[in-house]
Amino acid sequence: MLGNGFHNNGSLRTSRARALLKGLCPRCRVGKIYQRRLTMFERCPVCDLKFEREQGYFLGAMGVGYVLGLSILAGLIAIWSYAVFPQWPAYKAIMPALVICLPLLPIIGRYARIIWINFDRLMDPADRSG
């Protein structure tokens, strides 16, 4: 990549937000983080960036996943109790919201890792992973 925001082949570099949504490497923004739906590459296939910097690196992603999961669950409870069945008390909307939210957990975990990798590389871009 050249210093002007372009790759060597002349294409414009992907924005950080788009790379985050597409699950691309935070350094080159071209290589994918995941091989398949739930299987990560150990390193970026394009720039060879090691995604897991150290043992236990993804513990931070668990916190991100917790916040994502609670936000989605709270949103579903709010929609269920105020829009779908406004006559129900809010506590009765918890079970249908959980049933809807449970199948989303693998997707939440995937994006929690992507967000964590991008956040960590934004805060500390130095490559200490070897």
- Total count of domains within the chain: 1
Distance CA 26, CA 117 (A): 7
pLDDT in tens, 56-74: 888 999 999 999 999 999 9
Global pTM reads 0.78
- Residue 48 domain-assigned (yes or no): yes
- Residue 88 domain-assigned (yes or no): yes
Secondary structure of 64-103 in the HEC alphabet? HHHHHHHHHHHHHHHHHHHHHCCCCCHHHHHHHHHHHHHH
pLDDT value of position 6: 47
- Residue 61 domain-assigned (yes or no): yes
- Residue 105 domain-assigned (yes or no): yes
- Residue 70 domain-assigned (yes or no): yes
- Residue 89 domain-assigned (yes or no): yes
Distances (CA, A) of 26 to 11, 53, 73, 90, 103: 17, 13, 28, 40, 27
Single out the residue of 42, 127, 19, 126 nearest to residue 7, CA to CA. 19
Place of tokens 């991008």: 118
- Residue 36 domain-assigned (yes or no): yes
Structural domain of 41: 16-123
Place of tokens 């939440």: 108
pLDDT in tens, 71-121: 999 999 888 888 888 887 777 888 888 999 999 999 999 999 999 999 988
What does the block give as tokens for 22?
């597409």
- Residue 11 domain-assigned (yes or no): no
pLDDT value of position 4: 44
pLDDT in tens, 16-59: 889 888 999 998 999 999 998 888 999 999 999 888 888 888 89
